[in-house]
Amino acid sequence: MKRWPLKIKVGVYSAALTLLTLLVGSSALMGFIRLRLLNEVDSELRENAAELVRDLVNFRGAPVNPRHALSEKFVPVDLRDHYLMILGPEEQVLFHSPNLKGQDISGSPGFRTIDVRGQACRAGSFREPSYSIHVAVSLAEMEFFMRDVMVGLLTTLPLVGLMVFAGGLWMGKKAVSPVSALTAAAESISVENLTERLPMPEAEDEIARLTVVLNDAFARLSASYEAATRFSADASHQLKTPVAVLRAGLESLRDGGHLDGAGRLEVETLLKQVRRLTGLIQDLLLLARTDARRLRLESQPFDLSELAVSALDDLETLAYGRLHVEHEIETGLTVCADRRHLAIIVQNLVENAAKYTPEGGQVRLTVKREGNQARFSVANTGPALPEEDRVGIFERFRRGSKVGENQSGHGLGLNIALALAMAHGGDLALVRSDGEWNEFALTLPLVA
């Protein structure tokens, strides 16, 4: 039930609570009805006993001696279908109704439930000056009535539960509809439209308060995101000049002819690090422009196969003598894109495939049409990526758990490639990692 929608939970809980309440109430009602019916039976038995005594005392031809046996003619007609025992002053049996078959139903004064010949009966005992009256009546009719009431209640409960569930479902739907609207509105807010806010509901209730809190949180997040984006762009831009000066100075020092072999080697090492820093700054600038939605694309139609052929040349150069390269390039796939930025995506996929394919492995480059899209994929043989790497493989500064420290890269390549793909209206995804092949696919809309 944890994964059920809230409106379903409201319906189920409402129905369950109602049914439980009805069951408890029905049990109490059945007990009350049973007690009421038994009181009516007791009253009837008391009246019957009193009538019998009056007849024995006042009836014409009534026995003069209360110690003599009585015949059935002294028993009122209403009592002849009951179980009856009449005892004298010394507790001698004066009358024993034939339907008792000799069973003794006498007892202390009062009412009780007894078993008469395997049947539940209500019995009452009454002491008079001359006689003791013990009378019992079958409870079968009352039990039949109680069973009918119980069957009626049990038959009605499912229908009541169904109606309450439907009502609870409707009320739950009405109750969560503002939350659903807020959820839909919140899902539409992304880095592309951080200025959007949730619509305020008309009622000033808890939902309105939640909306205010969420809008305040979105405003703070938007301000923080914009500040971070500006800082990243400004810092990267400000770093370009000193790094360029540093690189030029190191190159001049290297080419000046004033260093010995060890000095030149040290300068080359420094230049290598400066080049890596230059690449990182360029990547950060590109991401900053993308985040700030200031990336300018100079899109124009061109055949994607042209870019694929160029990428294939680079791949064969990177894999020369170490990997086997396969390709399948379909021509005539015209896309409208910024060739320079699209080349960054392709270059990233090609370099990653060549970098992470084991010695003697295979790399396959494929370009083909899929419906109204062009699909550019690069696949390489190798072990499957760990599950934790697949989940966050496109995150910034996220490098694979099995990537060695000596391998180049900053964990930005795939994130930049994904951002550029989405800027072109396409997508980039890891489509396969099964222990045989690892495949990344870039999809772009074709020009109609």
Q: What confidence tens digit (pLDDT) does each residue in 337-389 have?
A: 988 888 888 888 998 899 889 999 999 999 999 999 999 999 999 888 888 77
- β-bridge partners, 95: 86
Q: What pLDDT sits at residue 124? A: 92
Extended beta strands in 290-414, E state: 300-303, 324-329, 334-337, 362-370, 373-381
Helix axes 6-58, 140-187, angle to 10 degrees: 160
Q: Mean pLDDT, to the nearest integer, of 24-30?
A: 86
For 6-147, give the CATH class.
alpha beta
Q: pLDDT tens digits for 405-417?
A: 445 555 677 888 8
pTM of the model: 0.47
pLDDT of residue 285: 66
**Domain 300-445 part of CATH 3.10.100.10:** no
pLDDT tens track for 293-341: 666 778 899 999 999 998 899 888 888 888 999 999 999 899 999 888 8
Own/partner pairs, 96-101, CB within 8 angstroms, 24+ separation:
97/72
pLDDT, position 404? 45
Quick one: angle between helices 261-291 and 206-255, nearest 10? 150
What contacts 247, CB < 8 A, 6 or more positions away? 271, 274, 275, 278
Domain boundaries, the chain: 6-147, 206-291, 300-445
Q: Which CATH architecture has domain 206-291?
A: Orthogonal Bundle (1.10)
Mean pLDDT of 193-222: 74
| 14-18, 281-285, 393-397, 433-437: which is most confident | 433-437
pLDDT per residue as tens digits for the range 150-173 = 888 888 888 888 888 888 778 777
Q: Check if the beta carbon of residue 198 is closer than 8 Å to that of residue 218.
A: yes
For range 211-230, the mean pLDDT? 74
Q: In the prediction, which pLDDT does 249 show?
A: 76
How many whole angstroms separate alpha carbon 376 and alpha carbon 417? 13
354 and 394 in contact (C-beta within 8 Å)? no
The C-alpha atoms of residue 379 and residue 374 are separated, in whole angstroms, by 16
* Separation CA 88–CA 65 (nearest Å): 10
DSSP string, 29-77: HHHHHHHHHHHHHHHHHHHHHHHHHHHHHHSTT--SSTTS---GGGS-G
Residue 122 to residue 145: CA distance in whole angstroms: 16
Q: How confident is the model at residue 343, as a pLDDT? A: 87
